[in-house]
Amino acid sequence: MSDVPAYRDANLAIDRRTDDLLARMTLVEKVGQMCQVDGRRDPITWVRDHHVGSVLHLMGEALAEVQQEAEQTRLGIPLLCAIDAIHGHALYPGATVFPTQLAMSSSWNPKLLEQVGRITATEASATGIHWTFSPVLCIARDLRWGRIGETFGEDPYLIGELACAMIRGYQGADLSDPTSILACAKHYAGYSQTQGGRDASEAELSRRNMLTVFLPAFEAAARAACATFMTAYQAIDGTPCTANPWLLRETLKEQWGFEGFVVTDWNNIGWLHTLQKVCPTMADAVCLAVESGNDMAMSTPEFCELAIAAVKDGRLKEQYIDESCRRILRLKFRLGLFDSARAFDPSAVKQTLRCAAHRDAALEAAYESIVLLKNDGLLPLKPDVKRIAVLGPNADDVIAQLGDWAALVDHDGVYRHLHPRENIVTVLDGVRQRAGASVAVDCCKGCDVIEPDTQQIRQAAELAGKADVAVVVVGDTKQLTGEGHDRTDLSLSGGQQELLEAVHASGTPTVVVLINTKPLTIRWAVEHAAAIVEAWNPGSEGGKAVAGTLFGDRNPSGKLTISFPRHVGQQPVYYNHIPGWHGGSYVDLPDGPLFAFGFGLSYTTYEYANLRIDQTELRIDEVLRATVDVTNTGRRSGVETVQLYVNDVYSSVTTPGKELKAFQRVTLEPGETKTVAFELPCARLSLINRKLQRVVEPGEFELMVGSSSRDEDLLRASFRILP
């Protein structure tokens, strides 16, 4: 008989190995697996004395040292190493930085998101990382919230489609692949719908609203085998998400069959006691969190000792500890951590990080993320342009271009990017490279995003006056966005509005390029600029993509996944609102958005015709089949995103006037017509009724297909669901 314990035998089934290891573990070792600590704060002691199961914010050689310490413990249980690789492994210096989630969502391209996830996993795993806290499935509806740029936009269905694609990329075909990493669906749930757009404040959501709007994308992620979920900071109707067994146990683990584990967000358990004050002591908070369904405590240092004491005192059942520990160990076995080091690999880092193929993918992602919002014919730039003025605070700002989770803040409060400057192509860099020696490129910052500067604005206006075209790059930056950085105002900050007006007054045709994390209120720019290009935070290759779009090397194909308001007070302006607003508009503003969900222009034009439904009366278990003809009526080839919406005309509860149910990207040559076919299971037409049951109600439905969510862009047809 072999002396090798069963959990060390790679030939045995994972459940057998997990049960064997769990039976050998002491209470201290089991509780330790449920603890994740900040790797920057004495991780060796935590591993040696508390047997912690996971570390975060530690990579490379430093991580390898801590992992070796874990291997020397009594049972040699490897650490699960995590990082916020949100849009690329961007917290690792020199890695590929992709556009942010909101940017990439504008591609409406799940295959692109899957590729980005796969590349991120490949780069992260080379540095010793096994787990990323991504994707974000929050629904962006209050634009004052600082974390809008981390989301996939405002539509539950589209968020679920893109998130599942990214999960497939992260986790690969099998978690045992050494380049696969665990995905994490966050923040579960309703985190984005807090009062006043204030990060982590109370969310007033009914259970029906949760089931209808905020949970479907998470359910899709669970059914796509997302390995981990992260609980949200906030409370819903008085119950913190970390203390909500309906969310964590009943819905996620029991109804959806989730087999991974749940991790809290940063010190969520501590918040139950110190901030939300639903627990008089930290010991109460630990017991409540575990009983509610949390499996791993992120950065709550008191967790280990208090959980052990609670079990010994009989306050906390050890079966909860065993359940959570088993979930964590199973994933460690599935990753192959007991059989292969999967540690920091300097040679793989050198070969993999920001290699040519990954740079090409980042450039493609940036191109597909760009949305053309306005064009009076100035774009693409004509060959007779000989002098360009590139102006604005974000024209050469690396931190603004890379976006959140790609920079660190120093002790003095200054944000500093982590990547060699030569690795980043800003808009100024891109225009200079693309313009070549025959075109003069003048540049001036013009103003600051935070504070105005009259002298710089005058200088910028003078340069604009001498140029054939002015490219003004404005938006926001890290100080104004991100976690804990919520805003009351969505207008251009600092001196940016004054800069736009001064450049416009020069008489030079102006292109406004937006480098921003969220929609801004830019009515003046819409009325006065010749063209507006939304580039979001386009990543390390973003400037090259912006320049290529301006010069016409690529035909823009991006479509908005989030609506632009005309004024901050107009919120919310998401497209799938519930009808019933008495009056239908404000007295001082139209009710419609400045730019609608699904909207995006092109350098060509498209025409929709002949919307047809194969069968206009269907049973609930049947499939709706519809076709539409789309023609490229312009002179350039292009990619069009055909969008399908449905309206449940009469229902037992109020429902949106339209909801996205399907979409397809179609490539069309000039003059070409393609018939686009959709197949929509009638089960997808369900709603949550008054009894909180998901049902499809018989009756009349309206099918809408077109280029955006705007009524004027949609063809319509009717069908019925039979009893």
State the catalytic residues: 265
Element (H, E) at 661: strand 659-668
SS3 127: coil
- Diameter of the chain measured on Cα atoms: 88
Q: Is the dihedral of CA 185, 190, 196, 201 positive or negative?
A: negative
- How many CA atoms lie within 13 Å of 446's alpha carbon, on the beta-carbon side? 32
Element (H, E) at 67: helix 60-71
The residue among 240, 248, 238, 227 whose CA lies nearest residue 269 is 240
Other CB atoms within a 10 A radius of the CB of residue 723 amount to 8
Conformational region of residue 93, where left means phi above 0, alpha means psi within -120 to 50, and beta covers everything else: beta
| φ and ψ of 722, to 5 deg | -80, 150
CA–CA gap between residue 669 and residue 251 (Å, rounded): 47
The residue among 153, 149, 107 whose CA lies nearest residue 563 is 153
Here the tokens at position 378 are 């100035």
- Is residue 393 within 8 Å of 385, Cβ to Cβ? no
DSSP 8-class letter at 246: I
**For the stretch 655-677, what's the b/e string if a residue is b when 16 or more beta carbons lie within 10 angstroms of its beta carbon?**
bbbbbbbbbbbbebeeeeebebe
Other CB atoms within a 10 A radius of the CB of residue 508 amount to 20
Here the tokens at position 543 are 């400037």
- Is residue 114 within 8 Å of 171, Cβ to Cβ? no
The residue among 59, 50, 100 whose CA lies nearest residue 77 is 50
CA–CA gap between residue 179 and residue 181 (Å, rounded): 7
CA–CA gap between residue 431 and residue 441 (Å, rounded): 8
Burial class (CB in 10 A: 0-12, 13-18, 19+), 257: exposed
CA–CA gap between residue 137 and residue 218 (Å, rounded): 7
- Angle among Cα 299, 301, 306 to the nearest 5 degrees reads 125
Other CB atoms within a 10 A radius of the CB of residue 118 amount to 19
Question: What is the edge-to-edge ordering of all strands in the sheet holding 606-613?
Answer: 606-613, 623-632, 673-681
Tell me which residue has tokens 């995103």: 641
Query: Which runs of consecutive H residues, i.e. helices, occur in 442-492?
Result: 454-466
- How many CA atoms lie within 13 Å of 432's alpha carbon, on the beta-carbon side? 12
- Is residue 556 within 8 Å of 566, Cβ to Cβ? no
Tell me which residue has tokens 């480098």: 515
CA–CA gap between residue 485 and residue 479 (Å, rounded): 7
Other CB atoms within a 10 A radius of the CB of residue 291 amount to 16
- Is residue 416 within 8 Å of 410, Cβ to Cβ? yes
